[in-house]
């Protein structure tokens, strides 16, 4: 039996396994907003209230629908909403689900666990209009934990209302997991190969 060939084959098999562990370590967490921390205005405290951005999307058609947040002004104001998430993460992105007057977001800040805001996006929102649209924004992952998002918008985007159905935070958990590092795992398995081969070499 060609034992060298067996060892090379076994080592080669480790590489795809290492890749799987890397993916597991990535651990991207996606959360929909759990609390409303602050907001500039709301159309009412029930229909189109700030609380309508909480949870997973529940506005499935484009239009003036009560399950989305609308500021109290239709035009001519700058508005904001700040939302909180149950699990603080090293944040790398957000999804703002726009369901009326799409294309109105002007800025996104992340809220750290010491209650400081950091701007992660400033720009032109080119979301498609006339359909419920998930405006996805990605940025370089923060090196601090993030527990909230502040979304800024202009009501001057068009002559009608501007509305948000839901807001998602994306990031990596700050909680330590027990998944072994690929290097540790590889060294361990290579050690086992060495032990096994020494035993087998006695017979070949």
* 49 counts as binding Ca ion under rule CB under 5 A: no
Q: Count CB-CB contacts under 10 A for residue 122.
A: 10
* 168 counts as binding Ca ion under rule CB under 5 A: no
What is the Cα–Cα distance from 48 to 51, expressed in whole angstroms? 8
* 82 counts as binding Ca ion under rule CB under 5 A: no
* 183 counts as binding Ca ion under rule CB under 5 A: no
What is the Cα–Cα distance from 71 to 185, expressed in whole angstroms? 53
CB of 85 to Ca ion, least distance (A): 16
What is the Cα–Cα distance from 139 to 164, expressed in whole angstroms? 21
Q: Which of 92, 99, 154, 155 binds Ca ion (CB under 5 A)?
A: 155
User: Is 16 or 76 the residue whose CB approaches Ca ion more closely?
Assistant: 76
Q: At what angle do helices 182-201 and 3-26 cross, to 10 degrees?
A: 160
Rg (CA), the chain: 25
Residues 6+ apart with CB under 8 A from 15: none
Q: Which of 18, 51, 75, 173 binds Ca ion (CB under 5 A)?
A: 75
User: Is 58 or 138 the residue whose CB approaches Ca ion more closely?
Assistant: 58
Binding to Ca ion in span 84-113, by CB under 5 A: none
Interface stretch with Ca ion, choices 63-71, 114-122, 168-176, 191-199 (CB under 5 A) = 63-71
Residues that bind Ca ion (CB under 5 A): 52, 58, 67, 75, 155, 165
């Amino acid at each position: 039996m060609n034992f060298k060939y067996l060892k090379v084959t076994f080592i080669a098999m480790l590489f795809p396994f290492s890749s799987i562990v890397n993916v597991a370590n990535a651990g991207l967490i996606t959360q929909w907003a759990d609390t409303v921390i602050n907001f500039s205005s709301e159309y009412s405290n029930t229909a189109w209230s700030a609380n309508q951005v909480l949870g997973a999307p529940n506005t499935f058609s484009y239009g003036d629908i009560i399950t989305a947040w609308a500021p109290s002004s239709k035009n001519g104001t700058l508005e904001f909403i700040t939302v909180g998430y149950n699990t603080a993460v090293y944040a790398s992105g957000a999804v703002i689900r726009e369901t009326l007057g799409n294309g109105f977001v002007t800025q996104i800040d992340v809220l750290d666990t010491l209650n400081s805001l950091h701007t992660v996006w400033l720009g032109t929102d080119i979301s498609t209009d006339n359909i419920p649209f998930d405006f996805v924004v990605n940025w370089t992952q923060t090196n601090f934990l993030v527990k909230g998002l502040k979304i800024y918008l202009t009501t001057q985007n068009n002559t009608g209302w501007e509305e948000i159905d839901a807001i998602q935070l994306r990031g990596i958990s700050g909680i330590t997991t027990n998944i072994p590092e690929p290097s540790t795992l590889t060294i361990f398995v290579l050690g086992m190969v060495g032990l096994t081969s020494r035993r087998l070499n006695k017979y070949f």
